[in-house]
Amino acid sequence: MTREELMGRLTALRRAQVGDRRAPHKPLLVLWLLGRFAGTGSSAVSYEEAEEPVSRLINDFGPTVKSPGAARQRAAMPFVHLERELWDLRDREGREMGSGVPERGNWLRERGAHGRLRSEVEVLLAEPGVLGQAVRLLMDQHFTTALESVICEAIGFDPAEFTGVADLSAERTRRRRRAGFAEEVLRAYAYACAFCGFDGALGRNPVGIEAAHVRWHSQDGPDEVDNGLALCSLHHTLFDAGVLGLLPDLRIQVSPVYVARSPAGRAVDALHGRPVAVPRPGRPAVRPKHVEWHARQVFKSAGAGVA
């Protein structure tokens, strides 16, 4: 396997769905394995070891499932169904397990199921820059920039590994971010956070204000002002993490799953029900279809099972 072939196989990871919602289970499992490899030099792990941390990643970075049958719809932690071109899965006796075995926790634990990224994959990951490139590719394809540091921390990966990484992702090459999008969004909202009004500057240069996609760029969100909001760094991260969301009438909602103990953390609750700032005259507000996408695919809603 060559470096380009590895990146091609990571690019080809199937994008699963739970009903009409994205289910980034496979990329999250692979990201966790890459973080494990970065820390230990090996991706070898038993199902029992992986179940809790990977399930937590899926809960934190996957969308909620709102239907009463959420538990039945939830896609399983993909320990069995990860593509065999990347993944070597075996039982306690070392016998290879095919993709047709059941993805049931008790069944897998009883048989001592364990896996690791294939030896040829690990050999490539040990080469300079390949591990960072692999993490970058999965981040770019399945998540959004504001979550990068949060996910890296969760998987135990040092973002410094991204330094000098050349991205060979065919998907990213085909659909680059449009130059000018960020500046257009910031101008539309007068360089102030649309949620809290923060408008800090260092001299004449704005600081801590970012252009956020409502529908993520990685999920086919357009680089247009009607899919953007100017947000301070904090509220950008909370918006992309699903702590903050939008109602159809463009009022802010705060996830009922969100908790905070400090006064600064509880200040987020005060945003609930506030209207989002109106863009400057002649600039469009966020389109309803993008608001609906974020509500369905990102916002952590009440009383829902988590995909």
Residue-wise pLDDT for 9-29, tens only, equals 999 886 666 677 888 999 999
For residue 102, what pLDDT is reported? Answer: 84
What's the token pair of residue 232? Answer: 């301070």
Q: Where are the domains of the chain?
A: 3-174, 181-301
Q: So what's the pLDDT on residue 72?
A: 39
Write down the pLDDT at residue 304.
46
The stretch 134-149 carries a mean pLDDT of: 93
Structure tokens at 83: 């593509």
- pLDDT value of residue 159: 84
Question: Which pLDDT does position 226 carry in this prediction?
Answer: 98
Lowest mean per-residue pLDDT among 41-45, 78-82, 214-218, 288-292: 78-82
**Residue 165 DSSP label:** P
Instruction: Say which DSSP state 214 is in.
Output: S
pLDDT on residue 171: 43
* SS3 letters across 8-66: HHHHCCCCEEECCEEECHHHHHHHHHHHHHHHHCCCCEEHHHHHHHHHHHHHHHCCEEC
Mean pLDDT for the chain overall: 89
Distance CA 204, CA 190 (A): 13
Which of 203, 204, 221, 220 shows the shortest CA–CA distance to 212? 221
Q: Does the pLDDT at position 128 exceed 50? A: yes
Q: What are phi and psi of 274, to 5 degrees?
A: -70, 145
Average pLDDT over residues 132-147: 93
pLDDT value, residue 272: 97
Region 206-219: mean pLDDT is 96
Measure the CA angle with vertex 222, ends 141 and 194; round to 5°.
105
Q: Once rounded to an integer, what is the mean pLDDT over residues 268-274?
A: 97
Query: Is the pLDDT reported for residue 204 higher than 80?
Result: yes
Q: How much is the pLDDT for 13?
A: 86
pLDDT digits (tens, 9 = 90+) for 170-181: 444 445 778 899
Cα separation, 298 vs 176, whole angstroms: 22
